[in-house]
């Protein structure tokens, strides 16, 4: 838990404060002084009475009550200092810069734990250890170079890595991005990224707090906490973007089902961030571009006007926007003609709107006004304007700033001439603006934001399944794959349609199957998990002789206990599945069967529980979605029936979380009916 003593300390002591600013204890002291901290600053250093002109106590016992202690001493001395200050000097906030704790050794981990215990017992808060510190507009408690002074209008940033935090700030500051609270959580001994987000959510005040939160996450230790508070903050009007580096620790377990194999170690992270409404980024530049876009309003629709005096970037931007699902719609009609008449000959207004290298500030103003007032099919504008090399562009950027202030529709500035127009860009940034130097980075960032769904409302879908029956089957089952009978019982109790089936264990039983299932039929070995791989699936069986032949053959297959019979069906092959993913809960996957998953890896992932909107989004987000809709005379399948199956799976898992893997592969879909022809379910009750 964070507290006021950390965020707004009346007094700070630097334990290990030093004259040498090439050491953390010297640098953090200098930063706090340079940052203009207005409270009481002191140092504990046994060798001096003054350090960098700040009062230093040789003996810790001589210091009075202090809100915040920043420790820059060897790990082995930290516990005693924390004990003394927490218990005797009412110190309620600690930042431990020192390394040598759980990241280094077993003993370090024990020491770290003891420190946390003391701080917890005394109701304090801890940032670190092994971090670069914390900074906000009140004080700069970091030992790295001060890149800029945090301001109240800046974004909040929580980083799992100290060095990366600095590099991310270095990527953002030239874009005009400003920071407010910057946390480097180090070993996250008491406060990790999730805990800080929780604090921000629980104490959120829309009139005071930053509405943009950036995260750099190395490992998601508390997925539930992250999901809950990111969702809540987003609903309160915040926008969150995150880089999650590396793959999740939960994902490395071996999986025997198809769904299990598909869900990579990163799937859970992807699903979680999506569900929370967090815009996922994969590089520093991408993160700070998204953050810079967050500083402006977002378009209300997907239609963008690209306004430029240079053709190339406009084309590249148009490509990036289109690829991400946004439109650069044609602009035409009498209003367009009227605008064109006011521009230099050779200009074009059909979108991209190109007003040539000689285009003026006044013309830019006319174009922006027309987009705002006349062109109804435009939701936002991107202005690409560099230096044409002929004249200074101060007037253009001033006008751009004016128009951005009064514009009804958002305007995003792409200013590519970072060398030849650097003075003009500097002047533009001084007006508290962010800008973009690269149109494609901007275009990708904007589409990433627009394609991240808003977190869904928590409403319970009224999906009824027979929970008593499900509970009974699970209770009576053994760990591992359920038998075909148990699988059928679970599907029936969940009202998930499945194909008609018959089972034969003897030749006699096999030969009377045609009385209940018409030819052509399908025979499948019972026992092996992957039946086709062992020659255990025979399609289009037409005669009793074939039944006899394949029955004898299948009974010889290793692990075979009997043979399953089904009618031969046709339709579009779909799949749906579930995979348990440690602390993340259960993932739900869906897609088309066959080559679409095998080769094209075209599938969608959600985090259970899902609601109707998410289920629909999962299906419509498939690249092969057109096949579900029906294409070129090929009938599709009723999407609502598929949605319903996903919702039933989600409901099933809420009742039976012991299901660790479930595969409906394939489901065969024919217009308004979809039914499972192959299903496996694995349970693990110790979980």
How far apart, in Å, are the Cα atoms of 197 and each of 130, 167, 193, 213? 20, 21, 6, 9
Among 69, 98, 678, 683, binds ligand ADP (CB under 6 A): 678
Contact between 491 and ligand ADP by CB under 6 A: the answer reads: no
Among 618, 677, 681, 683, binds ligand ADP (CB under 6 A): 677
Least distance between ligand ADP and beta carbon 648 (Å): 20
Provide the 8-state DSSP code for 303. B
| 614 binds, options ligand ADP, Mg ion, none, Cβ within 5 to 8 A by partner type | none
C-alpha span between 100 and 130 (Å, rounded): 7
Among 330, 532, 543, 620, binds ligand ADP (CB under 6 A): 532
Cβ-contact 196, 158 below 8 angstroms: yes
Cβ-contact 94, 124 below 8 angstroms: yes
Q: Of residues 508-527, which lie at the interface with ligand ADP (CB under 6 A)? A: 522, 524
Nearer to ligand ADP, 314 or 677 (CB): 677
Contact between 484 and ligand ADP by CB under 6 A: the answer reads: no
Cis bond upstream, residue 428 (ω within 30): no
Stretch that binds ligand ADP, among 116-124, 290-298, 307-315, 530-538 (CB under 6 A): 530-538
Contact between 21 and ligand ADP by CB under 6 A: the answer reads: no
Question: CB within 8 A of 393, min separation 6: which ones?
Answer: 361, 385, 386, 387, 417, 421, 424
Least distance between ligand ADP and beta carbon 681 (Å): 13
Contact between 190 and ligand ADP by CB under 6 A: the answer reads: no
Nearer to Mg ion, 187 or 259 (CB): 259
C-alpha span between 453 and 460 (Å, rounded): 19
Cβ-contact 70, 12 below 8 angstroms: yes
C-alpha span between 186 and 341 (Å, rounded): 60
Contact between 418 and ligand ADP by CB under 6 A: the answer reads: no
Nearer to Mg ion, 270 or 678 (CB): 678
Contact between 557 and ligand ADP by CB under 6 A: the answer reads: no
Least distance between Mg ion and beta carbon 499 (Å): 12
Contact between 539 and ligand ADP by CB under 6 A: the answer reads: yes
Q: Of residues 657-676, which lie at the interface with ligand ADP (CB under 6 A)? A: 665-666
Least distance between ligand ADP and beta carbon 566 (Å): 4
Question: CB within 8 A of 186, min separation 6: which ones?
Answer: 96, 127, 128, 129, 130, 131, 132, 162
Q: Of residues 564-583, which lie at the interface with ligand ADP (CB under 6 A)? A: 566, 568-569, 573
Contact between 109 and ligand ADP by CB under 6 A: the answer reads: no
Among 48, 99, 316, 499, binds ligand ADP (CB under 6 A): 499
Cβ-contact 84, 60 below 8 angstroms: yes
Strand bridging mode 279-281 / 239-244: parallel
C-alpha span between 257 and 576 (Å, rounded): 12
Least distance between ligand ADP and beta carbon 575 (Å): 9
Stretch that binds ligand ADP, among 411-419, 528-536, 583-591, 612-620 (CB under 6 A): 528-536
Cβ-contact 589, 257 below 8 angstroms: no
Nearer to Mg ion, 67 or 573 (CB): 573
Nearer to ligand ADP, 92 or 524 (CB): 524
Query: In a 3-state reduction of DSSP, which class is residue 449?
Result: helix
Element (H or E) spanning 111, and its range?
helix 106-121
Residues in contact with Mg ion by CB under 5 A are 665, 678
Backbone φ and ψ of 221, nearest 5°: -90, -25
Contact between 687 and ligand ADP by CB under 6 A: the answer reads: no
Provide the 8-state DSSP code for 518. P
**Residue of closest CB approach to Mg ion:** 678
Using CB under 6 A, list all residues that contact ligand ADP: 499, 522, 524, 530-532, 537, 539, 566, 568-569, 573, 665-666, 677-678
């Amino acid at each position: 838990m964070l507290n006021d003593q950390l965020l707004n300390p009346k007094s700070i002591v630097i334990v290990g404060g030093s004259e040498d600013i090439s050491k953390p204890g010297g640098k953090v002291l200098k930063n706090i002084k340079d940052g203009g901290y207005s409270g009481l600053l002191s140092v504990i250093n046994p060798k001096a009475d003054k350090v960098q002109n700040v009062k230093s106590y040789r003996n810790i016992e001589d210091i009075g009550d202090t809100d915040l202690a920043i420790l820059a001493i060897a790990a082995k001395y930290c516990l005693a200092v924390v004990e003394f200050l927490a218990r005797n000097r009412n110190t309620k906030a600690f930042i431990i810069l020192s390394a040598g704790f759980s990241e280094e050794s077993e003993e370090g981990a024990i020491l770290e734990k003891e420190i946390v215990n003391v701080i917890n017992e005394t109701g304090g808060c801890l940032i670190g250890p092994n971090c670069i510190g914390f900074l906000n507009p009140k004080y700069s408690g970091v030992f790295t170079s001060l890149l800029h002074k945090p301001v109240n209008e800046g974004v909040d940033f929580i980083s799992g890595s100290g060095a990366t935090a600095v590099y991310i700030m270095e990527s953002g500051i030239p874009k005009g991005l400003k920071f407010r609270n910057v946390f480097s959580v180090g070993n996250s001994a008491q406060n990790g990224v999730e805990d800080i987000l929780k604090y921000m959510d629980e104490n959120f005040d829309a009139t005071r707090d930053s509405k943009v939160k950036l995260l750099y996450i190395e490992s998601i230790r508390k997925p539930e906490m992250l999901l809950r508070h990111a969702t809540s903050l987003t609903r309160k009007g915040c926008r969150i973007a995150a880089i999650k580096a590396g793959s999740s620790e939960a994902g490395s377990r071996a999986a025997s089902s198809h769904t299990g194999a598909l869900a990579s170690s990163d799937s859970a992270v992807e699903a979680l961030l999506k569900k929370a409404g967090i815009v996922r980024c994969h590089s520093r530049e991408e993160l700070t571009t998204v953050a810079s876009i967050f500083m402006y309003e977002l378009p209300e629709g997907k239609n963008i006007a690209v306004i430029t005096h240079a053709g190339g970037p406009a084309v590249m931007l148009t490509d990036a926007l289109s690829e991400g699902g946004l439109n650069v719609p044609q602009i035409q009609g009498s209003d367009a003609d009227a605008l064109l008449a006011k521009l230099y000959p050779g200009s074009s207004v059909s979108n991209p709107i190109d007003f040539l290298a000689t285009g003026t500030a006044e013309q830019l103003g006319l174009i922006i006004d027309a987009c705002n007032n006349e062109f109804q099919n435009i939701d936002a504008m991107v202005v690409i304007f560099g230096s044409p090399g002929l004249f200074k562009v101060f007037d253009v950027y001033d006008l751009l700033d004016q128009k951005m202030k009064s514009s009804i529709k958002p305007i995003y500035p792409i200013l590519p001439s970072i060398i030849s127009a650097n003075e003009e860009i500097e002047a533009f940034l001084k007006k508290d603006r962010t800008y973009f130097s690269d149109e494609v980075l901007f275009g990708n960032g904007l589409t990433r934001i627009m394609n991240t769904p808003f977190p869904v409302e928590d409403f319970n879908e009224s999906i009824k399944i027979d929970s008593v029956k499900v509970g009974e089957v699970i209770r009576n089952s053994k760990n591992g794959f359920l038998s075909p009978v148990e699988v059928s019982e679970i599907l029936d109790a969940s009202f998930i349609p499945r194909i008609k089936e018959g089972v034969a264990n003897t030749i006699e039983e096999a030969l009377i199957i045609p009385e209940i299932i018409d030819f052509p039929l399908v025979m499948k070995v019972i026992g092996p998990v992957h039946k086709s791989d062992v020659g255990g699936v025979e399609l289009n069986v037409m005669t009793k002789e074939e039944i006899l032949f394949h029955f004898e053959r299948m009974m010889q297959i290793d692990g075979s206990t009997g043979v399953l019979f089904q009618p031969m069906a046709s339709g579009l092959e779909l799949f749906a599945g579930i995979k348990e993913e440690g602390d993340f809960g259960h993932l739900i996957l869906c897609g088309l069967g066959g080559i679409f998953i095998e080769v094209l890896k075209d599938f969608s992932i959600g985090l259970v529980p899902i609601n109707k909107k998410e289920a629909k989004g999962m299906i419509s987000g498939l690249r092969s979605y057109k096949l579900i809709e029906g294409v070129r005379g090929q009938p599709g399948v009723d999407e609502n029936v598929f949605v319903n199956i996903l919702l039933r799976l989600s409901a099933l898992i809420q009742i039976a979380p012991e299901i660790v893997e479930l595969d409906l592969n394939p489901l065969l879909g024919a217009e308004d009916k979809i039914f499972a022809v192959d299903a496996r379910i694995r349970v693990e009750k110790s979980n």
